[in-house]
Every structure is written in C-alpha cells, then in structure tokens.
Amino acid sequence: MTALFWFRRDLRLADNPALLEAVRLGEKQVAPVFIIDPKLLASVGPARSSYLRDTLSALDESLEGALILRVGDPYEVLRALCHELGATDNVATADYAPSGRARDERVTRELAVHGRHLRFVDSPYVVAPGTVLTKAGTPSKVFTPFRRYWEAEPLLAPFPRPRDVRWVSAESDSLDAVTHYAARQRPEYFGDLPNDPPVYDPRVGEAGALAVLEDFLSHVAAYDEQRNVPALEGTSRLSPHLRFGTIHPRTVLASTNGSSRGSEVFRSEIAWREFYADVLWHNPESTTKVLQANMADLPVDTDDRAVARFHDWARGETGYPLVDAGMRQLLAEGWMHNRVRMLTASFLVKHLHLDWRWGAKWFMWRLIDGDVASNQHGWQWTAGTGTDASPFYRVFNPTLQAERFDPDGRYIHRWIPELRDTSAPDCLQPGGGGGLFAATGYPAPIVDAAVERNEALDRLAKLRER
Ligand SMILES: Cc1cc2nc3c(=O)[nH]c(=O)nc-3n(C[C@H](O)[C@H](O)[C@H](O)COP(=O)(O)OP(=O)(O)OC[C@H]3O[C@@H](n4cnc5c(N)ncnc54)[C@H](O)[C@@H]3O)c2cc1C
C-alpha cells in the first residue's frame, strides 16, 4: 500500500506531522510529490521561483532522489499518480491562504468522486489560522490581545523525522520547469525593471534552515537590541525558510525559547506572522482590499510621472540614501531588513503617493520570503489601511530614520557604492546635505520629503472631510 505525500509549503522531512500521517497510511511506503502548477507559478517572480527550485533540489537529495515532480493541474496529477502507483490516500499540510484553500477544496472534491482521499494535517503555523479566538468567540483585530490568546495555546514539541520509509518514485518532470513556468504574468507597469534572480544565502533546504537557526542561536539573546539596525546581522534571516517550510516555527520556538529579553521579543515577531495569517484567514479579500474601509478612497497617483517614480523607487534611485539602500538590497539579495521594509513602503505610499498594491506587488516579485499574509498586511500596516495599522498621519522621515538606525552609514555604504567615500552624517541626507552628492553619480532627490509629507496629510484631511 503506497500513500502519496503532496509537498507544498512544508519542504522538509523533520517536524512534519502530515508526512508522518502519510507514512502511517502507506505503511512506510510513501510517494513524495511536488506539483509544478503553471497557473500558480505565472505570478511568482524570478526570486521565489529560483529559491523554490534550489529548495526542491535539496529536498530531492534528502529523499534519495525519489521526489516526483510533475507539471500540471494538481487534481490531474494526483489522480494520474494514484492510478499509476495504486495509491488511495493522499496527504498534505493544510494551506491557509485564499488561493490555496480554494484549490484544496476543489481537488479534494474532485478526487473524492474517484474514490481517492486527500487529507490535510497540521499547518505552517504554531497555531492554525482561525483557531485563536477571544473569550467572546470572535477573532482578534488587534495584535496585543491576539498574542495573549495565542500564548495560551499549547506549544507542541517538534515531531520526529520519519524513519525506515521506503520512498516510492515515478517518472518525473525536470526541475527547470519551476523557473520555466514562473514569472509569465509580469505586470505591465514594471516596464524594464530588472528581472534577474537575486543572489541569496546558499544555505537552502532543511539542512540550510537548521544551519541558519544555529547561527541565530548564538545571538538571539541580543535580538531585542540589534533587530532594528540594518547594518547588523541582528535578525534570524529565517523568513525564506519559514515561507517554504524548510523549518517549522515549532522547531524554531523550541530552540529559541529562553528567558532572555531577546528570546521574548523574537517570539513576539513569530506571533506577528501568525497574526497576519489569522487576519488573512478571516478576511481573504484583504490581499487586495483595504481593511479600513474609510481609507479606500484616499487618492493615489497613477499617471506617467507616478510610473516613473515607481521605477526610481524600485531601482533604488530616489535620492534618499536609506530608502535606496533597502531597495538595492532587495534587488541584490531578494531580502530586505524589516526596518527598511517599513521605511521604503512608507516612502512609496506617503512621499510618492502611489498605491500600496504597486509596492506590495514589487516586493512579492523580488522577495525570496514573499508571503501573501505577511507582505500584504505589512503593506497595509504601513499604508494605514490595515487592522491594527500604524496611523496614516505617522509618516517616517527618511533622513531621521537613517540618523537613528544607520548613524554611521554602514548599511548605506554597503548598498550604495556611489556613496562609499561620503561619510556620515553627510551620506544620510538627501543630496548629501549641501549638494555633496553631485559629483558621485548618485541621484538628486526625486521629491522633497517635507513637501510630499504635507501633500499626504492634505489628501488624508480632504478624505476625512468627505
Ligand atoms: C512592507 C512589508 C512587507 C513584508 N513582507 C514580508 C513577506 O513577504 N514575507 C515575510 O516573511 N515577512 C514580511 N515582512 C515582515 C518582516 O519584514 C520579515 O518577516 C523579516 O524582515 C524577515 O527577516 P528575519 O527572518 O530575519 O526576521 P526576524 O526578525 O528574525 O523575525 C523572525 C520571523 O518572524 C516573522 N516576522 C518578523 N517580523 C514580522 C512582521 N512584521 N510581520 C510578519 N512576520 C514577521 C518572520 O517569519 C521572521 O522570519 C514584511 C514587512 C513589511 C513592513
């Protein structure tokens, strides 16, 4: 008896209860499959598709080359494989994002017609989205009470790696199909923005995730002090691994749970990830629709000048050094420090007056950790449109942010080579504080931040008057 295990956002063997269930149902005979769905991949940018390909390659290695890759519609692929391998049971970790939920409902229904069972076990979260409720039985709209209820849920110990499994393989498509089918639905307004994959940490896959975690454990105690300084490696860098499930947050928390202030703050960041997944579960429309209806009509610019400004922002050529350093890190590494994500997002919305959805789309296109819940709600938080969002009238000042979080310009120097010979505080200012940048080739500021801040607040005031 063979059971089929459908890998999706859980590309690992350890701490994977759904895989353990497949091992049980298949009596230790499991066919591991990953489905390359061209419809899904079309909107995945070059960063995540390249990261996914490398992660699948690592997964295949840990399965002794047995991973079955098939291009096609999930229902068609699973049905064909069940037929080929004589399998009845299919198991997967549940997906909680709106498109995944819709797909899973359809595939389950269609397989059932043919007498095949598709079961879902566990989730990519410590607590499954939709589970954490207030005493009144309602979801929390605000993070702090959510976290309190979330903390009260039991934290399960990591599950063991399955042993003595016979991996059953079958004919497989090429791994290159992942990048082949990706990035076909590139938005027109991206124009000629770079489309090459970034260069990321080569520690991919499950072993890579454990190595990254191991590194982080040496400085988790200082996380609370270092996490806001983009020049430091003060954060865990686990986000792409959590995105692709090469590690489960259970395992991460089991290793980082300590009494230090750093561990405590880190746990809270993991809770933000869980909060946003929960918000998305209850509000599937929030991938594109604002959660605060009264902000829906805030005017945004969409003309040619707006598109040109969007391109300057995406290329890291706004003339605001910390903003540009972040956008260039995103282009180069497919990752950006959280502090700078907040600043660059705020700059797009409040200084350039562009639609947050444009920015969110570019982030999703370029991030290796691009995750619909964390990204869309990170953007809604910044744009003042989300549940528990930072109010719109709180505008990050790009120069003050640089002075506070990159005072010696180390992060700016790393990502903006034109400014390497300009020391702080001059390199923190747009224009270099007195036209110093003119000779460096680094662009002059495309907007005046003080003027545009007032413009943003004006737009908000007019919206409120209506
Ligand atoms: C505009 C914007 C867009 C974002 N887009 C994404 C995204 O697509 N994918 C993504 O994983 N994170 C996103 N974030 C959240 C955050 O920036 C990243 O999770 C973090 O920078 C990843 O680096 P790290 O793993 O070193 O984080 P650490 O500081 O080490 O945090 C540990 C983990 O906690 C979670 N986490 C931390 N901060 C947040 C947060 N604010 N919201 C949700 N989860 C959090 C992540 O899973 C992260 O890996 C976004 C934030 C903003 C402001």
Write the pLDDT tens digit of every residue in 388-421: 888 999 999 999 999 999 999 999 999 999 999 9
Q: Are 1 and 49 part of one and the same domain?
A: yes
Atom of ligand 1 nearest to the CA of 239: 49
Q: Tokens 């124009």 map to which residue?
A: 191
Write the pLDDT tens digit of every residue in 174-201: 999 999 999 999 999 999 999 999 999 9
Q: Is residue 184 part of a domain?
A: no
Give yes or no for a contact between 457 and 393, defined as CB atoms under 8 angstroms apart.
Answer: yes
Residue 387: which residues within 8 A CB-CB, separation 6 or more?
141, 142, 279, 283, 291, 292, 377, 380
Write the pLDDT tens digit of every residue in 236-263: 999 999 999 999 999 999 999 988 999 9
Q: Which of 147, 273, 346, 388 to mutate to test the pocket of ligand 1 (most atoms within 8 A of CB)?
A: 273
- Smallest CA separation from ligand 1 atom 51, residue: 378
Q: Are 354 and 451 part of one and the same domain?
A: yes
Q: Which of 226, 228, 269 to mutate to test the pocket of ligand 1 (most atoms within 8 A of CB)?
A: 269
Q: Is residue 193 part of a domain?
A: no
Q: Is residue 198 part of a domain?
A: no
Give yes or no for a contact between 397 and 305, defined as CB atoms under 8 angstroms apart.
Answer: no
Q: Is residue 378 part of a domain?
A: yes
Q: Are 106 and 142 part of one and the same domain?
A: no
Q: Are 389 and 453 part of one and the same domain?
A: yes
Question: Is the preceding peptide bond at 425 cis, omega within 30 degrees of 0?
Answer: yes
Residue 406 identity (one-letter amino acid) = D
CATH number of the domain within which 8 lies:
3.40.50.620
Give yes or no for a contact between 67 and 60, defined as CB atoms under 8 angstroms apart.
Answer: yes
Q: Are 221 and 304 part of one and the same domain?
A: no
- Smallest CA separation from ligand 1 atom 26, residue: 237
Of the residues 122, 139, 172, the one at which a domain ends? 122
| pLDDT, mean of residues 202-223 | 98
CATH number of the domain within which 244 lies:
1.25.40.80
Of the residues 253, 283, 313, the one at which a domain ends? 283
Residue 433 has pLDDT above 80, yes or no: no
Atom of ligand 1 nearest to the CA of 242: 47
pTM of the model: 0.98
Of the residues 247, 265, 283, the one at which a domain ends? 283
Write the pLDDT tens digit of every residue in 80-90: 999 999 999 99
Q: Are 65 and 7 part of one and the same domain?
A: yes
Tally of domains in the chain: 3
Q: Are 437 and 314 part of one and the same domain?
A: yes
Q: Are 389 and 444 part of one and the same domain?
A: yes
Q: Is residue 228 part of a domain?
A: yes
Q: What confidence score (pLDDT) does residue 425 get? A: 95
Q: Is residue 243 part of a domain?
A: yes
Q: Are 439 and 380 part of one and the same domain?
A: yes
Residue 169 identity (one-letter amino acid) = S
**Domain encompassing residue 41:** 1-122
Q: Are 96 and 145 part of one and the same domain?
A: no
Q: Are 115 and 132 part of one and the same domain?
A: no
Q: Is residue 169 part of a domain?
A: no
Q: Are 226 and 371 part of one and the same domain?
A: no
Å from CA of 431 to ligand 1 middle: 31
Q: Is residue 129 part of a domain?
A: yes
Residue 400 identity (one-letter amino acid) = L
